[in-house]
Structure formats: structure tokens, C-alpha cells
Structure 1
Amino acid sequence: MLQQQQVQDENEPISQFKQITRYYSLKIINPQVYYYYVAPGNNSKLIIQTMQKRKNWQESANQLLHFQWNMNDKNFKYLTLSQSQIQIVNHLPNHRELTMKCNLIKNLKYFCQANKRYVWDITPLSFIIDLYTSENDLNRVLKEFIFFYEQFKPSNSKKNQLNYSSKPVSQYVHPKMHHSLLDEEDNYIWILKPNEFNRGRGIQFFRTIEELKQLLKNFNKGISEYQFSQGQIKSSSFVIQKYIQRPLLLDGRKFDIRVWVLVTHQFEIYIFNQGYARLSSEMFDLNKLDAFIHLTNNAVQKHSQNYGFFELGNQISYSELDYYTNGEFTKTVLPKIKSIIVFSWMAIQNTFKKCKYSFEIFGYDFMLDEQLKPWLIEINTNPCLEESSPLLQQLIPKMIDDAFKIVIDPLFSKVTEPTDWDHLLQL
């Protein structure tokens, strides 16, 4: 059951949870009709349109539901979903093991250590900071990162990737710098990411320890977002991540790649065979710490005066990526991306409990360095569904409809149709 409560999703209007009445109440309505509810926000009208195309489905007016789509799962009670008749929801329990930045890093480190694989070959070097300034000394909390930072800052000619820490660390999680993260000049960049936010919210850049300390103090009080945002955000949990100094550029601009991943309640993992790259609005320049240069999220870039100047919506398709990379994106990059996606789910499979009648669509974000190596940046719940370009007007409705063909239609209509989702594995 779902309790009725107002919740606020990042960048979305307040939505109202519908309460799912116990299953025996469903007997009083037409057994040939199924009922759904879609919470407002994140292009919810597309979800409604997708359901309206399905026979025997009707939007609920009396809170008796077979399917609910919501921005988050704060009030979902997963244990009730399989008690009687089918009720399905669009979030997996424990998805935060991947979608919370700190949890993702922790789980990747544990799994890599146990399976003898170098975690910093998968995701950029990262440090987790849990900061409670009223109880802990800031320097002590940052001690591990500061020691590493001092060893590798460009002005230090005695760079040494060994023995940076006084305590033994497995070689597979030992901090190390990949070539694409290094820069010999003074434009060395690190990223500070609040743990609980997405769509670029709260991300800050810094070069020095003094700048980092000031940012952490600001977050503890409440820090203003970029010049295009309103209000403040507060956080005490962060990931400090090394910025990729040598990214692959498209026409001189930075980009990342959004990949959609579908996970069913049976832990079948799918990847949508189409996706897109998100480009910045400004030319790449390590000398400037400008969000419109370094953050490719559409939620950020849409505020730039150059948004849409180079391409509609600052987005290009996989086929265009193939053109830029002489076919290497499809041939070599995409298989590596698929491998990382599989690896991420293997890393958390023991922390997840399968829950009948729940599924989720995730937004994986990858970057390519100048050697075409893919790096996993983060994994998003409730990925943006806004059709902000002709490309996304084509891709997103198809992606959603095909996802429902896998997770909804077989349960209710017993119909199975081909889709553009490729099956990766079954956990």
C-alpha cells in the first residue's frame, strides 16, 4: 500500500501519492479494466499517453490501482505488492545502492576488492566524505584525501602512487591516477558532488584544499546553486571525484553519454539500443570553472545563452557519435559500456532483495576520454524524460513504450512483442 503524502522530487513540482486500497477492494470494479495512476512531474503526460494506448487501461479516479508511476518511492510499501492481484510500481527497492553516489562508490570498491579488479579503471578516482562539522574536525575528516592530493598536485615533482596511506589498502582499491585524470599545469580540477542530488544540482569545482574546505563549510550552512537556480541546498555527505582532464571532445566541446537501463522485478537487465550524447554549450577550457563548460546535464545547459546553438537541445544520437568516432563507438565503446553496466549490477546483487511487481528505468551516465575509454560517472533514478529536442521526441516515447511491453503488458494482457531493449543478463 501507499500512504498519502506529499513529496518533493528534485526540480519537480510537488506530487500527491495515491493510496492503494487493499486487493479485495478491486473486486467491486470492472474486472476487465485495469487502473493506473501517474504522479505529476518529469513529463508525466508522456507516461499517461503511453498507458492510454493500451486496451483495458483506465486512469484511476478512485485510488484503486494496478500500476503506479511516481517520481520516487519514499512511501512505497513493497511487501504488499505480491499479496494478491497484480500491482506494479516503477521503482526497485534498494535502488539507492546504485543511485546514491556514495553507495555506488562503496559497492564498486567492495566488489572489486573481492574479485581482484581495479575499481579506478571503471570510475574516476573518488573519495567519500561524511562531514559533521559540529562533531568532527574538518582536517581529520579530510585527512585521507588531503594526503593523496598533496602527493599528486602538479607542483609536486615527487609524485608517488605508492604508500600514500599509513594503513594497508588492497591494490584493487588503492587510489591511483589514470592518465586521462592528470594535468601538469596549474588547472588541476576536482569535483565535489553532494550525495543525494541529481541533474547537476550542487556540483562544485575546486583546485585547492582551501577552496574545498570553504565549499564544505558553505554546504553545511546552505549553499546557493549556480547563477540560474533559486534557493539553497544543504548536504553533509559528498563524493570528491577527480575530474577527467583529457576528455574526448566533439567540435571542441565536452559531452557525456546517457544510456537507459531497464531492470525487471526478476532482475533481468536490459539496455536500450538507442541513446544520446549531451554536449556543453561552451568550448572546453580547463582554465575556467564554468558549469556551462564542464557540466553537460540538460538541466544545467538549458540555462546557457548558447543552448541549442550548435545542435538542437545540445544532443546527438548514437549514429552521430559513430560518425565522430569513425565507427568506434558502436564497435568498441558500446560493448565496454555494456560490460560496465553488467559489472555494476553484479556488484550490488547481494544487497538487493527481489520484489515482485517492481521495475525501474535507470539513466547511466558515461564519459569518454581522449583514448575512447568509457568511464562510469553516475547512475540516476527517475532519469529525465523531457523531450527537449527532436531527437528525444523520437527516442523517449519509444523507450518508455517498449519498456512497458516488457514489464506491464505480459502481466495483464499476456502479450509479448519485440522491443528495442536488448537483454544483457539475468541475475
Structure 2
Amino acid sequence: MLQEIMTGKVKWVTDIDKSVLLNNFEKRGWIEASASEDWNFYWMSVQTVRNVFSVENGYRLSDDQIVNHFPNHSELTRKDLMIKNIKRYRKELEKEGSPLAEKDENGKYVHLDFVPVTFMLPADYNMFVEEFRKNPNSTWIMKPCGKAQGKGIFLINKLSQIKKWSRDNKGPNFVTTPCKETYVISLYIDSPLLIGGKKFDLRFYVLVTSIRPLKCYMYKLGFCRFCTVKYTPSNNELDNMFVHLTNVAIQKHGDDYNPIHGGKWSVANLKLHLESTRGKTVTDRLFDEIYWMIVQSLRAAAPVMINDKHCFECYGYDIIIDSKLKPWLIEVNASPSLASSTANDRIMKYNLINDTLNIVAPNGDIPDCKLSKNPSKEALGNYVIL
């Protein structure tokens, strides 16, 4: 009898040991399994996804199995591929004569200008130099494509710094190196919107359950991450990452880091602040632009993404607002951190996983990939349909 009861339960596996996941599985009465046994739900790290969907493995998922990543999610979550896909998307829309691809008199996109000017290094080195010379007083930010949490990032404002970097990294004349050494270099947004004199960025969570047709949901409970040191565009502070990078992995080592609120604010607080300082109309327009930009980025990657019905993805979108209240898409994370730096953080992430599971595994039942997933209004929790 017990065996019969057990068989109707979802069997879960994860290789990410985080309490917000485990508590959610337990609350549903799901049963822990191992990767080598039968399982229905696998919350995987990106490395595991690579292995499962690799050509050598040829692993086939059955209709009652779902995983939390698309096979080639990196088309959106690797910094270089995201930019490449957005550039291609713009060109295609231009060819079609789409009004979305409209440009102003300076040749800038009116609607699709939501990522900073970006080049890949070493491949686009000459194009970057040309752009740099047009505006030699600009600051640029360099990021390794395959790293996270602010690792390996630095700012430059002189060509000699790039030349030094290329010598240190590449030997003479940019000898081609394996793909993992690719960097992106982007125009630094040097006039960010400041609150209390400090720079911040926004983290939004976006759940995608299908690429074609695109089905995506925005989580209402995002947050802002603040730097611990007041912002200055001064060249003397270019090396001070406590001024420039909002990543908690960096800021938590700062002298002024506050472990109680973790340098975080809820998006709701930001909205209230902006409504009281800039007005409701302007604030609403800003948030509409952010939602629109997220959908456009997903559309840009959609043609090259493998739309596997066994997959869903909860992306972490990082966005910066400049002093003119224009939002910029900085990057998209495939495995947004499920670690909690504060009590509020833990509650929010627990709810995020709970609401995600309610959409991708409705009623806590064993998944069935043949059924179309259209959750009821009640099942959405804090998600809204984008």
C-alpha cells in the first residue's frame, strides 16, 4: 500500500544544496532520489545541464521529467552570446523594415538601444579602438565572458591599459586563445541613478516555460543591490570596486557593508522612492521599459535556443538605471544565487522557488510534458505574465 502512495509522488534530485530548494521540495512531500534512479524533477547546476544535454551523452528525457535549464541557455546568459544575439535581432528587424528597428539622426536605435555599446575582445579589437578614439574621455568596463560574481572585472579609460592587458594575457598581437578567455568590453554607464549618493543595480527574476511560443513571467519581488561606498566618476577611483560593482560577492567585503539589510532594497521600495522624487508617470514608464526590454532580449535569443519541452528557466536579470531614468540591460544570469545574505532575502527566495514550482509542476503533481502549461491566475503567486 505504501509503495502505491509513494509512486504518485514527484521524485526530485538536485546538485545545488540550498535550503530554499530543499524546504520547498519537503513541503510538497516530494521524495528525494539520486541522479542514477528514476526522477521527475531535477534542479541542476549549469555544469550538469551541459553534461546531460551533451552530444556524447545522448540522454533522452521522458515525458514525466523536467529540468530547470534549457540546453543552450548560454545564448542569453553568456555575456558575449547575449550581445551577439541582440545585434543579430536588430539587423533582422531592420531587414524586415520593422518599426522596432527605427534609428535616430545619429544612427542610434530608438527602441532597441538597451545594451551599452559592446565589443568582444580579442576579436573586435580594431572596432573597439575606432570607437574609443571617437570619444577618448569615455570609461569602459571589461568582463570575462564565462565568469560570475564580479570576478575578473576591471575599468579602463586609456588604450594603453588595454595594450597592457593584452600583453599580460595573450603574448604578442593577441594570439588567439581558447574561447573561455574571451572578454566583453562595454561602454561604462558613468552617470548611474544614485540613491543616497550610491550606485545600485536591479535584480529581476524572469521565469520562461517555453521559448517558441514565448511564455515568460516576471517576479514582482525583485531587489536593488547597493554599493557600500559613495559613487564618484573620478579617475582616481577606477580601481575601487566598492564604488563601481554592486555584486554582493564583492560588497560584503567592504568596511561599510551592513549584514542586516545586506545593502539591498526591495523593488517596491525603489518604486515608492521614485514615485515620490520623480513622479508616478515617469516611474511607470521606466518599469514598462524594463519589462519591454526583457521580452525583447528573450525574443533576440529565441531563434537559436533549443526549445525543449522538458525545460524551464528562472533567469536573473541585472539592470542599471542611468540618471536620465533610462534602463540598461547589463547581463542575464542562468543560476541566480539562491544563497541568502539576510532574513528577508531568505523569505523572498523561498517564495520565488515556491511560486516557480507552482507554475512548472502545477499542484505538485508528477510532470507531464505533453500537457500545455497554462497556470491559473491563483497559481501565479508573485509572478505576472510578461
TM-score normalised according to structure 1 size: 0.74
Q: Does the alignment pair 1:35 with 2:11? A: yes
Contact kept? 2:10, 2:364, Cα under 8 Å: no
Q: Does the alignment pair 1:52 with 2:26? A: yes
1:50 is matched by which residue type in structure 2?
Answer: N
CA distance in 1, matches of 2:166, 2:112: 24
Q: Does the alignment pair 1:112 with 2:112? A: no
Matches within 5 A, 1:212-361: 212-220=162-170, 235-265=180-210, 267-287=214-234, 288-289=237-238, 290-308=240-258, 312-326=261-275, 328=280, 331-361=284-314
Matches within 5 A, 1:366-377: 366-377=319-330
Determine the structure 1 residue equivalent to 2:104.
Answer: none
CA distance in 2, matches of 1:39, 1:30: 22
Deviation at 1:46, TM superposition (A): 1.5
State the secondary structure of the residue aligned to 1:192. Answer: strand
CA distance in 2, matches of 1:86, 1:220: 48
Determine the structure 1 residue equivalent to 2:382.
Answer: 420
Q: Compared with structure 1, are the counterparts of its residues 148 and 77 closer, same or farther at alpha carbon in structure 2 (3 Å cutoff)?
A: closer
State the secondary structure of the residue aligned to 2:198. Answer: coil
Determine the structure 2 residue equivalent to 1:125.
Answer: 117
- Choose 67-76 or 260-269, whichever is displaced more: 260-269
Q: What do the CA deviations read for 1:381-426 (whole angstroms, capped 9, x no partner)?
A: 10011211233123111111000000023572689634111111xx
Matches within 5 A, 1:52-201: 52-55=26-29, 57-61=30-34, 63-72=37-46, 73-77=49-53, 80-83=59-62, 85-116=63-94, 117=101, 118=109, 121-130=113-122, 142-154=125-137, 188-201=138-151
Q: What do the CA deviations read for 1:195-235 (whole angstroms, capped 9, x no partner)?
A: 111221111111111111222333448xxxxxxxxxxxx95
2:31 is matched by which residue type in structure 1?
Answer: Q
Contact kept? 1:315, 1:391, Cα under 8 Å: no
State the secondary structure of the residue aligned to 1:349. Answer: helix
TM-align CA RMSD = 2.5
CA distance in 2, matches of 1:115, 1:144: 23
State the secondary structure of the residue aligned to 1:312. Answer: coil
State the secondary structure of the residue aligned to 2:306. Answer: coil
Unaligned runs of at least 5 residues, structure 2: 95-100, 102-108, 172-178, 368-374
CA distance in 1, matches of 2:153, 2:14: 30
Contact kept? 1:82, 1:356, Cα under 8 Å: no
Q: Compared with structure 1, are the counterparts of its residues 189 and 389 closer, same or farther at alpha carbon in structure 2 (3 Å cutoff)?
A: same
Determine the structure 1 residue equivalent to 2:105.
Answer: none
Contact kept? 2:8, 2:366, Cα under 8 Å: no
Query: Between the two proteins, what is the percent identity of the paired residues?
Result: 29
CA distance in 2, matches of 1:46, 1:255: 25
TM-score normalised according to structure 2 size: 0.81
Q: Compared with structure 1, are the counterparts of its residues 63 and 28 closer, same or farther at alpha carbon in structure 2 (3 Å cutoff)?
A: farther
Q: Compared with structure 1, are the counterparts of its residues 28 and 391 closer, same or farther at alpha carbon in structure 2 (3 Å cutoff)?
A: closer
Contact kept? 1:317, 1:391, Cα under 8 Å: no
1:423 is matched by which residue type in structure 2?
Answer: I
State the secondary structure of the residue aligned to 1:47. Answer: helix
Determine the structure 1 residue equivalent to 2:175.
Answer: none
Q: What do the CA deviations read for 1:57-94 (whole angstroms, capped 9, x no partner)?
A: 111156321111122112123875554x4111111122
Unaligned runs of at least 5 residues, structure 1: 1-26, 132-140, 155-187, 222-233
Contact kept? 1:254, 1:284, Cα under 8 Å: yes
CA distance in 2, matches of 1:60, 1:29: 16
State the secondary structure of the residue aligned to 2:82. Answer: helix
2:187 is matched by which residue type in structure 1?
Answer: K
Q: What do the CA deviations read for 1:337-395 (whole angstroms, capped 9, x no partner)?
A: 10001101111221123212211110001000111110111111100112112331231
CA distance in 1, matches of 2:168, 2:5: 54
Q: Compared with structure 1, are the counterparts of its residues 358 and 378 closer, same or farther at alpha carbon in structure 2 (3 Å cutoff)?
A: same
Deviation at 1:114, TM superposition (A): 2.1
Contact kept? 1:275, 1:318, Cα under 8 Å: yes
